[in-house]
Structure 1
Amino acid sequence: MGGANDGNQQDHIATTRGGRLLAFIRRRIVLPLFIVCVLGLVLFIGGFILFADRVTTLEAPDLTRPADGIIVLTGGYSRIEGALDLLKNKRGERLFISGVHPTTNRNELQRVTGGDATLFECCVDIDRSALDTVGNAAESVKWAHSNQYKRVIVVTNNYHIPRTMVELRRVSQDIEFIPYPIINTNLRDGDWISRGLVVRVLLVEYMKYLGAEVRSHLPDSLFGFKLGAKTF
């Protein structure tokens, strides 16, 4: 009988200890982790709403005072056409088209965009090496430095503006970058939230933007190359 009682007592102690351990885990680990996840989700959603509202209400800047040069990043509808209009209207001395496909030649690009052939020949430089926004920024800064430009207009789609500016300013702090958003769809009334495709595009771009922000606070040495080189 005594052995049975001892065994029951040991089981009770083990059960009690197990219950205390589980309670400790729930109180000190699970609950704080749950709170952190909820707060993180709230911050993420709140940040996304602010981001979407910001990019859908961007407006073209006042360009009464012309810039030194113009940069346009390929990859979006009407970007190059908008940049060519700025060049034609003498808002900058030269235009740099970054991220052109390696197989696309100058004449083909001029024909597809409807640009003036004479303007293309005299005042348009083409970059075929950049593969993404990081590469666009690096090559654009090299071009600006090679021309000794200190004030440059940056043309890209409105949703792409925040990430582009982060990448450019990470590469160079001595150039004034003027964002010029290309707006293909008017979403200023806030109806973007009811358009599934628009929400998806904005959400993907928002996550890329967050990655760019994080990367901008990390040492350049982590990326295996030196940013801001002044050769072109």
Structure 2
Amino acid sequence: MDAIVALPRVNPLLLKLRFGMDLDAGDRALLGDAFRATRSLEPQQDIVRAGERSSGVHLVLEGFAFRYKLVRDGRRQILGLLLPGDFCDLQSIVLGPSDHYIAALTTCTIADVPQRQVDALIFRDSRIARALWWATLVDESVLREWLASMGQRPADKRIAHLFCELLLRQQLVGAAGARDCPLPLTQPMLADILGITPIHVSRILRDLREAGLIELKDRHLHVPEVERLRAFCDFDPAYLHLVNTPEQGASEPLSGNGP
């Protein structure tokens, strides 16, 4: 089994934005200095609550978080998974109070940036504004793909497609190996993402394992043959809009002054 590549001491936002926008050294320094680690959250701790107006923007630097909504009877629908380099609420700049909840899935390190600082970055540099816009639009594209999966893919291909996505998204920020990545999702959480029961999830995971498509152990996913899993679920990464192909191994410091 391939070794998991540990997340380096770099800002995952800068690693992610390399695939969507060419930023110069000054832009990268500004973003690296703005989005520093400021606090750690425990699993299930809310980052944003529905109905509340955020005082700024939150960026996941380490760990997993998730978006969710509660329906009237208390059931939960998970709307998105937030990985290192993902903004929790960049849209709050325009939309105001949140219409959903965001919570830590694992222990998370979050960068909190006041709204005025984000505004200053956007108004100062059109490249930074475009890069953050790209990140927001990719989030919307991922949601559309999830909706397409929910409506049209059978449940086994739905789970396989999600696994392909999570492997690739973590690879983009140096948090995964070629065939391995963290997968801290319980079966009930997978059920809340996919709109099926935990029992159905358990059966599908068993079938995928027996088919040799995946291995799950110690909250990690191993994909023996990535192209085979992609073919099984018709995974096409075009919806992630990776318009750039930066050099492998390129990295940026967390900030100009070190961590």
TM-score of the pair, normalised by structure 2: 0.26
Q: Which structure has more RCO (C-alpha within 8 Å, separation ≥ 6)? A: 2
Relative to its length, the structure with more helix (as a share) is: 1
TM-score of the pair, normalised by structure 1: 0.28
Relative to its length, the structure with more strand (as a share) is: 2
